Amino acid sequence: MLRLMTLADWRKAEGISQEELASRLSATLGRPVHQPSVCQWESGSVMPGADVAEAIRTMTGGRVTGASFGRRPCP
| Closest C-alpha to 55, from 19, 30, 25, 35 | 25
Residue 31's pLDDT is what? 98
Average the pLDDT over 7-33 and give the result. Answer: 97
Average the pLDDT over 35-39 and give the result. Answer: 97
Is residue 63 a contact partner of residue 10, using CB atoms and an 8 Å limit? yes
Residue 72's pLDDT is what? 58
pTM attached to this predicted model: 0.87
Q: Is 30 helix (H, G, I), strand (E, B) or coil?
A: coil
Domains and CATH numbers, the chain: 7-68 (1.10.260)
Residue 1 has pLDDT above 70, yes or no: no
Q: Please report the sign of the dihedral spanned by the C-alpha atoms of residue 19, residue 64, residue 59, residue 37.
A: negative
Q: What is the per-residue pLDDT across 49-63, written as a single tens digit (0 to 9) for each?
A: 999 999 999 999 998
